[in-house]
A and B are shown apart, each in its own frame.
Chain A
Amino acid sequence: MNPTDTTNRPSVSIAGVGAQPTGTSKPDAADPVMELSGVSVFYGAYEAVRDTSMPIQEKQITAMIGPSGCGKSTILRSLNRMNDLIPGARVSGAVTYHGQDLYAKDVDPIEVRRRIGMVFQKPNPFPKSIYDNVAYGPRVTGMKVSSMDDLVEKALRDAALWDEVKDKLKTSGLALSGGQQQRLCIARTIAVRPEIILMDEPCSALDPIATAKIEDLMSELSNDYTIVIVTHNMQQAARVSHYTAFFTAEVDERQERHGRLVEFSQTGKLFTNPADKRTEDYITGRFG
């Protein structure tokens, strides 16, 4: 099988105007693919996360950790405009993707999500066959595909699921086990060839063996994809990620809770030599 030439990654321009960074002016890999600058997310008048700034490095795994209610999932959903689906949700500050503000007026959220896919906490395959689950994305986005069969196989292979399902592609995705369902959701996401994959606690509903498989898969996928993962599991963040962002919840002068980014650095550094006392307390289990 050589289906790589059957798919083409979408060009970077989202708004249709030439906001692409010129390839020559990109001197090193440290140029982040996404960047958050002073991002706050509001639900109505309530400010759920306040003033978050961090980069997302290309083809690296960035983990977001922190106690419940610290806003890490909220920030994750702001990266591909899934927050748009929540009535009253609003983002201030700038989320840039290849230098382009994702919240600019002329940006189409549909195109954003096409390039920045998402895997959810609870495996949520469509009530369709395994094949149709994977083919759904390419179909709805109108991808030019020479052979859908090859594309489905490639996506399932990349998600380390092919060997388990190759003989039952026509059976319902809901008939698979929880871990298989989650890998099907990953296959479905990479079938549209996104550049970035957001994962919102992808292993929290899985047993340790299924979790280990997903973690291996994430490392494998980071050769081709930029991955941002939210996790409650600090060991998981330490095992798989290259960069880690630690969030916590703060109570302000009006007794309202806000999520805050406390520390962002390379994973090794954050876990062995945290700069902030709160990070240290959290990772050593004294808090949260």
Chain B
Amino acid sequence: MSTPTTTTETRPDSSASGNALTQRRSRPGEVAFRLAMQACLLIAFGVLAALLTWVLVKGWNRLDSRLWTEMPTGLVSRLDGAGVQSALVGTLWIISLVALICLPIGVLSAIYLEEYADNTRWYNRLLELNIQNLAGVPSIIFGILGLGIIARALGLGFTVITAAIVLSLLVLPVVIIATREAIRAVPQSIRHASYALGATKWQTVSRQVLPSAVPGIATGSILALSRAIGEAAPLIVLGAVTFITFNPDGLDSGYTALPIQIYTFITRSQSEYTELAAGAIVLLLAIVLAMNSIAIFVRNRFEKRW
């Protein structure tokens, strides 16, 4: 038990110094921490800005329609009239297929795990844990798995569909996790209201939960697709051909993709290749930025306030 006097002693800036309120004290800890945070932001932003500036300056001469109307070439003499059309079309093929494959599988898996699975069962918890783990597996591992199982054992070969399946597997955990977050953000009260009216589970999920979760699902899915677009490592082992002068014309077609094309350009010593690579990097960045802006638009447009 403390005496009442102790409380008056611990009260800050008591009447002993009457003008305590007006004496602004400097707090070095506050200032230092603020500066440290700003410095970290500057480093992150500065590196990004430097990279962007470098590719823009390097690739400036190649930023014209040749980039997407012309084919790549391995001959330096023809380099002036070369572009990356086959890689661009290959990337668009792959990313469309990835969307078609991984979105339905990912969204349905997430619905099952969030709404149907009994989390007290050990196998459902094991599934959850492994999905988290899968998201952390290096992409080259997925490439090797694809080479062994999809390209060779299933006999799909080094084709567009093989690349799309492997990239789908790669980003599937991301889609599942993002969709689960979005589903979980839908208030439980909405589900209860629906059930209390005599709705079935599927009616509740399809008419209330999913529509409310669309912004989150769309955002997460598009960010996952953006990641798939930039992946080069799995495609290297999946036979993305370095210089092809035709566009893919079907699921079983040979292909190349922008990250692979950029990589092979850069490994060449001639400066013209470096320039073309920089141009292709700008193109790839533009696609990724466009997709991210769609994600932001969808999120803002359909976001629900509870």
Residues of chain A touching chain B, judged by Cβ–Cβ distance below 8 Å, are 80, 82, 85, 87-88, 110-111, 113-115, 117-118, 120, 122, 124-127, 136-137, 140-141, 174, 185, 188-189, 192
Contact = CB atoms under 8 A, between A and B. Distances in A.
A124 B193 contact: yes
A121 to B, nearest CB: 9
B81 to A, nearest CB: 55
A110 B211 CA distance: 22
Contacts of B304: 127
Contacts of B211: 127
Given A124-B189, A124-B192, A136-B207, A141 B197 contact: yes
B116 to A, nearest CB: 12
A136 B197 contact: yes
A193 to B, nearest CB: 11
Contacts of A82: 192, 195-196
Contact of A124 (B187, B203, B207, B305): B187
Given A82-B195, A141-B197, 16 more contacts: A82-B196, A85-B192, A87-B118, A110-B198, A113-B195, A124-B190, A126-B193, A127-B190, A127-B212, A136-B194, A137-B198, A140-B199, A188-B197, A189-B196, A189-B197, A192-B198
B300 interface: no
Contact of A140 (B120, B197, B212): B197
B301 to A, nearest CB: 14
Contacts of A141: 197-199
B189 A122 contact: yes
Contact of B120 (A87, A126, A185): A87
B200 interface: yes
Interface of B: 118-120, 187, 189-200, 203, 207-208, 211-212, 304-306
A115 B194 CA distance: 14
Given A87-B118, A126-B190, A174-B305, A140 B196 contact: no
B-side binding surface: helix, strand, loop or mixed? Answer: helix
A114 B195 CA distance: 9
Closest CB pairs A-B (n = 5): A114-B198, A137-B197, A118-B196, A124-B189, A140-B199
B189 A120 contact: yes
Contacts of A140: 194, 197-200, 203, 207
Contacts of B192: 82, 85, 118, 120, 124
Nearest to B186: A127
A117 B120 CA distance: 29
Most buried by B among A114, A124, A137: A124
A192 B197 contact: yes
B280 to A, nearest CB: 43
Nearest to A188: B197
A185 B198 contact: no
Contacts of B187: 124
Contacts of B203: 140
Contacts of A122: 189
Contacts of A111: 198
A110 B195 CA distance: 7
A113 B201 CA distance: 13
B291 to A, nearest CB: 26
Contacts of A185: 193
A189 B197 CA distance: 6
Most buried by B among A80, A117, A137: A137
A145 B141 CA distance: 57
A188 B199 CA distance: 13
A229 to B, nearest CB: 15
B193 A117 contact: no
A274 to B, nearest CB: 32
A192 B198 CA distance: 9
A118 B189 CA distance: 12
Contacts of A85: 191-192, 195
A189 B193 CA distance: 9
A43 B124 CA distance: 21
Contacts of B196: 80, 82, 113, 117-118, 120, 189
B190 to A, nearest CB: 6
Most buried by A among B194, B198, B208: B198
Contacts of A110: 198-200
A194 to B, nearest CB: 8
Nearest to B187: A124
19 contacts: A82-B192, A82-B196, A85-B192, A110-B199, A111-B198, A118-B196, A120-B189, A120-B193, A122-B189, A126-B190, A126-B208, A136-B194, A136-B207, A140-B199, A141-B197, A188-B193, A188-B197, A189-B196, A192-B197
A110 B202 CA distance: 12
